């Protein structure tokens, strides 16, 4: 089946999940065709990325690239890569005009043809991007571990893969994996979340963090019957490329009472009052939060792209055992603790 616009879809997979942040919504004064051909399942648009370089995997008609171009500003740059010529031509057609409308002297948007498993062949060098984003694309790749390895390669040290995709609560049987309609709906290629975590760690991304998650609804009765009890989710993951060995398997305690603690400076535009690192870390401006070694590393000076926005107290000189994050794990809806993992 050929999709002409997102209205042709039979599930909510390619249009699901979190709405873009309000700042991003304001930026989306885009040509209708770019918006109509958007097939994303989330809002992988990090804030605080002024001046940064961003790569969008499977950029499609370019909606997220356009939004990112506005977020990085005239000193930043955005590259979208996609294998489909038709999508690329839609994305390219409006880029110059859009950059002019942002008041830029030079267009900071570039779209290249290529495969996300073979970024090098598309001319994308190692250690070149601060952020890699992607929206509902990795599920379509026949070689997901290779995509993760490629992303790790092209990210700068301290950079991040911040992306939304479709996941499943189990490994899908062959008849589902090979179902043409379910493939086009971004369902058939959905990874079992535990397999994804294994692949991410193997590629070098220790401690994958979930930022947001939303269930995907399958409305079509025939497709529902094929899928049985399998449950699907649109998840936005955050994977940091930090120095080897720095992200540990478990949450470790380096003296959270007096040493490793984090204070958000409130310096990210659009998130002046608090910063949400993931689904269990909301840092209020100015307030000290006690964290494990991994979380501190994701925000630390000389280690992470987020460092300018955080103050870290303490270091790793003394280890006090495992950080008791499970005892103190509060979802944001009933967030009550200063002790975080
Ligand atoms: C569901 S659409 C999402 C497009 C876009 N990210 C958006 O949010 O609108 C998937 C896109 O990924 C591209 N794609 C799928 N597999 C790819 C691969 N292996 N390499 C490059 N692009 C790929 C397709 O051409 C298509 O444009």
Dihedral sign of CA atoms 183, 192, 235, 240 in order: negative
Query: What mean pLDDT comes out for the span 222-234?
Result: 96
Rounded to an integer, the average pLDDT of 223-235 is: 97
Per-residue b or e along 186-199, where b marks 16 or more CB atoms closer than 10 Å to that residue's CB = bbbbbbebeebbeb
Range scoring the smallest mean pLDDT among 65-74, 170-179, 194-203, 316-325: 316-325
pLDDT digits (tens, 9 = 90+) for 295-312: 999 999 888 999 999 999
Residue to mutate (ligand 1; options 59, 60, 63, 166; most atoms within 8 A of CB):
60
- Exposure string of 63-79, with b = 16+ CB inside 10 Å and e = fewer, is bbbbbbbbbbebebbbb
Looking at residue 326, its pLDDT comes to 54
117 CA closest ligand 1 atom index: 19
236 pocket-lining for ligand 1 (C-beta < 6 Å): no
Q: How confident is the model at residue 337 (pLDDT cuts 50, 70, 90)?
A: very low
Chain segment 31-74, per-residue pLDDT in tens: 888 888 889 999 999 999 999 999 999 999 999 999 999 999 99
For the Cβ of 135 lying below 6 angstroms from any atom of ligand 1, the answer is: yes
Higher pLDDT, 93 or 22: 93
C-beta atoms surrounding 40 within 10 Å: 25
- Please give the mean pLDDT across all residues of the chain: 89
Which residues fall within 8 angstroms of residue 123, CB to CB, at 6 or more apart?
A: 112, 114
Task: Label residue 260 by pLDDT band (50, 70, 90).
Answer: confident
- pLDDT value at 3 more than 70: no
Q: How confident is the model at residue 329 (pLDDT cuts 50, 70, 90)?
A: very low
Decide if 306 contacts 48 (C-beta within 8 A). Answer: yes
Stretch among 80-94, 142-156, 200-214, 256-270 having the lowest mean pLDDT:
256-270
What's the pLDDT at 25?
Answer: 55
Q: Give the span between the Cα atoms of 161 and 126, in whole angstroms.
A: 14
Cβ 123 vs Cβ 150: under 8 Å: no
What value does the mean pLDDT take over residues 234-258? Answer: 84
> What percentage of the chain carries pLDDT values higher than 70?
86
Q: Is 119 exposed, middle or buried (0-12, 13-18, 19+ CB in 10 A)?
A: buried
Q: Whose CA is nearest to atom 5 of ligand 1?
A: 60
Please state the atom number of ligand 1 nearest to the C-alpha of residue 61. 9
Tell whether the model's pLDDT for residue 266 goes beyond 80: yes
pLDDT at 259: 52
CA of 330 to the centre of ligand 1 (A): 35
Q: Say whether pLDDT at 258 is over 70.
A: no
Q: Are strands 191-192 and 155-168 parallel, antiparallel or unpaired?
A: parallel
pLDDT at 217 over 70: yes
The model's confidence at residue 338, banded by pLDDT at 50, 70 and 90, is very low
- Cβ of 112 less than 6 Å from ligand 1: no
Distance (Å) from CA 276 to ligand 1 centroid: 27
Kindly tell me if the per-residue pLDDT of 341 is higher than 60.
Answer: no
Stretch 147-175: mean pLDDT: 98
How much is the pLDDT for 327? Answer: 44
> What mean pLDDT comes out for the span 232-244?
96
The model's pLDDT over 119-159, given as tens digits with 9 standing for 90+, comes to: 999 999 999 999 999 999 999 999 999 999 999 999 999 99
Neighbouring residues of 131: CB distance < 8 A, sequence distance ≥ 6: 46, 49, 52, 53, 54, 55, 155, 159, 160, 161, 162, 305
Mean pLDDT of 235-249: 93
| Protein residue whose Cα sits closest to atom 14 of ligand 1 | 58
Tell which atom from ligand 1 comes closest to the C-alpha of 135.
6
More confident: 136 or 251: 136
Report CA(37)–ligand 1 centroid distance (Å).
11
SS3 for 268-298, per residue? CCCCCCEEEEECCEEEEECCEEECCHHHHHH
pLDDT(257) > 60: no
Ligand 1 atom nearest to 39, measured from its CA: 9
pLDDT at position 214: 95
- The two tokens of residue 61 are 């008609």
The alpha helices in the chain, defined as continuous H runs, are 22-27, 32-36, 63-72, 85-93, 95-101, 144-154, 174-177, 180-184, 193-203, 221-227, 293-298
> In Å, what is the CA distance from 336 to each residue of 279, 311, 322, 328, 340?
14, 22, 21, 9, 10
Q: Are 21 and 109 in contact (CB under 8 A)?
A: no
204 lines ligand 1 (CB under 6 A): no
pLDDT band for position 14 (50/70/90)?
low
Question: Strand, helix or coil at 214?
Answer: strand
Q: Of 262, 255, 304, 305, which is closest to residue 285 (Cα–Cα)?
A: 262
Strands 232-240 and 261-264: unpaired
Higher pLDDT, 164 or 248: 164
- The answer to whether residue 23 scores a pLDDT higher than 60 is no
Domains within the chain, CATH numbers bracketed: 12-240 (3.40.50.150), 246-325 (3.40.5.100)
């Amino acid at each position: 089946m050929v999709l002409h616009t997102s209205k042709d879809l039979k599930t909510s997979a390619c249009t699901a999940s979190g709405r873009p942040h309000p700042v991003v919504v304001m930026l989306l004064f885009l040509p209708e065709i770019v918006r109509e051909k958007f097939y994303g399942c989330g809002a992988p648009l990090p804030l605080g990325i002024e001046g940064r370089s961003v790569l969008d995997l499977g950029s499609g008609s370019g909606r997220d690239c356009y939004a990112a171009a506005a977020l990085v500003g005239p000193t930043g740059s955005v590259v979208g890569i996609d294998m489909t010529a038709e999508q690329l031509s839609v994305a390219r057609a409006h880029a110059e005009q859009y950059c002019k409308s942002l008041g830029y002297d030079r267009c900071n948007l570039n779209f290249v043809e290529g495969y996300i498993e073979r970024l090098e062949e598309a001319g994308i060098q190692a250690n070149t991007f601060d952020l890699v984003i992607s929206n509902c694309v990795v599920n379509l790749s026949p070689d997901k571990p290779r995509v993760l390895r490629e992303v790790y390669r092209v990210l700068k040290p301290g950079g991040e893969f911040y992306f939304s995709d479709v996941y499943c609560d189990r490994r899908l049987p062959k008849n589902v994996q090979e179902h043409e309609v379910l493939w086009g709906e971004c369902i058939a290629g959905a990874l079992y979340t535990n397999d994804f975590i294994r692949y991410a760690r193997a590629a070098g991304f220790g401690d994958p963090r979930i930022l947001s998650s939303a269930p995907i609804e399958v409305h079509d009765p025939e497709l529902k019957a094929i899928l049985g009890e399998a449950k699907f989710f649109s998840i936005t993951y955050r994977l940091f490329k930090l120095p080897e060995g720095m992200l540990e398997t478990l949450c470790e305690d380096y003296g959270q009472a007096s040493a490793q603690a984090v204070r958000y400076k409130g310096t990210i535009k659009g998130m002046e009052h608090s910063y949400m690192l993931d689904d269990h870390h909301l840092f209020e401006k100015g307030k000290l939060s006690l964290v494990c070694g991994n979380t501190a590393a994701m925000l630390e000076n000389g280690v992470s792209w987020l460092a300018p926005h955080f103050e870290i107290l303490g270091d790793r000189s003394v280890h006090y055992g495992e950080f008791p994050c499970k005892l103190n794990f509060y979802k944001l809806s009933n967030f009550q603790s200063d002790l975080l993992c």
